[in-house]
Amino acid sequence: MNFANAFQGVVALLWLVVIGLIVLAVVRASRGQAIRATTTSIVVLAVVALILTSVSAGLVFVEPEERGVVVSAVSPTGFREDALQPGLRWVIPFLERVEIYTVDRQTYTMSITPSEGQIEGDDSITARTADGQEIFMDASVIYQVDPTKVVQLHIDWQKRYVEELVRPLARGVIRDAVSQYGVEQVYSSRRDDLQQDIQTNLDAKYEENGLNLVVFVLRNITFSPEYAASVEQKQIAEQQAQQAVFVVEQRKQEAEQARQVAQGKADAAVIEAEGAAEARVIEAQAEQRALDLIAQALQDNPDLLTYQYITKLSPGVQVMLVPNNAPYLLPLPTIEPAAGSSSTSESSAVPATPPTAVPSPSPTPTATP
């Protein structure tokens, strides 16, 4: 609570009471009524009001985020050397007055957007780069009054410091810094360097005039329509070039993938061929081993080959006709006689049991299935 303001409110209320009593006294006097008691009350309250008014004129309450500069009629310099600190303070009534300055952080914005900055309309900073390109910059300056230099700030600038110090210094330093960079550096590779240069230089300028720069914010950079169009075309060309590189790389990957697939198929074919060859070798070895065993068996039993021949000749042969006077050429397995079969006068049926050789005439034998 601001005690000084509350006290001034009490004083104002007391003066209203005094005025009300004066009006009452005038009305009673016009009616011929006694006003002695009223007059005494008016005098007493007026004296008290004057005393309290004097006291209230000397009371000053300084907020924590404020400092007070005392302008003094009794000081040889016209002001007190030290600013008033936060709290309830006292100055000489009617001979000294206090100018309050905030030392809290303040923001000053300069923007191309009409309603965004402190000034209505386009308030962006126009600057030229080292290669002559015109650019437009939106920026914000966050600053505060140096509490130790507030008296000097008042002497130099009074309440005009925002419009006549903060704004001009910021715009001038920004233009000077931009002139040291090329246009491509401003919006791409060295934008951070540009912002840092502006902050360093602006901090030094503000410090000389009793201000502390908290941070400089480079909000936006806008180019002339012609240059913006050229930048856009350049970016489109770069994107197309990057797309072409991507397509080429993609084709390389597809070709490599196809090569790997073909290599895999070739490797698989080689492996399959090698497996088939190895299988054939194993099969040939097995056949050779089988032939060796057969040869060994034939060597031990010569008639085995004849037996195998007959069994392979025709599994369905049931009757064989041979000449009566000719011996059998080879031993035969058991042959079952066919039902209803007959023999000619020059042939005879072969019995089911192994026969012995019987002489037969010359005619050629025939076999009936």
- The per-residue pLDDT for 320 is 56
Q: What are phi and psi of 127, to 5 degrees?
A: -145, 160
Interatomic CA distance for residues 80 and 138, integer angstroms = 40
CA angle (263, 266, 269) in 5-degree steps? 150
- The per-residue pLDDT for 323 is 59
pTM attached to this predicted model:
0.57
- The per-residue pLDDT for 217 is 94
DSSP of 321-341: -EETTS--SS-----PPPTT-
Pick the CATH number of 106-223 from 3.30.559.10, 3.40.390.30, 3.40.50.720, 3.30.479.30: 3.30.479.30
Q: What are phi and psi of 10, to 5 degrees?
A: -65, -45
- The per-residue pLDDT for 141 is 96
- The per-residue pLDDT for 143 is 97
> How many helices, marked H, and strands, marked E, lie in the chain?
9, 12
> Mind listing the pLDDT tens digit of every residue in the chain (369 residues)?
567 778 788 888 888 988 988 888 888 888 877 778 888 888 888 888 888 888 888 889 999 999 999 999 988 989 999 999 999 898 998 899 999 999 999 999 999 888 888 888 889 999 999 988 889 999 999 999 999 999 999 999 999 999 999 999 999 999 999 999 998 888 888 889 999 999 999 999 999 999 999 999 999 988 877 777 776 677 778 778 888 888 888 888 888 888 888 888 888 888 888 888 888 888 888 888 888 887 787 777 776 667 666 676 656 655 555 555 655 554 545 444 444 444 333 333 334 344 434 444 444 443 333
Q: In the chain, what are the domain boundaries?
A: 3-99, 106-223
Burial of 174 (0-12, 13-18, 19+ CB in 10 A): buried
- The per-residue pLDDT for 319 is 56
Q: What are phi and psi of 87, to 5 degrees?
A: 125, -175
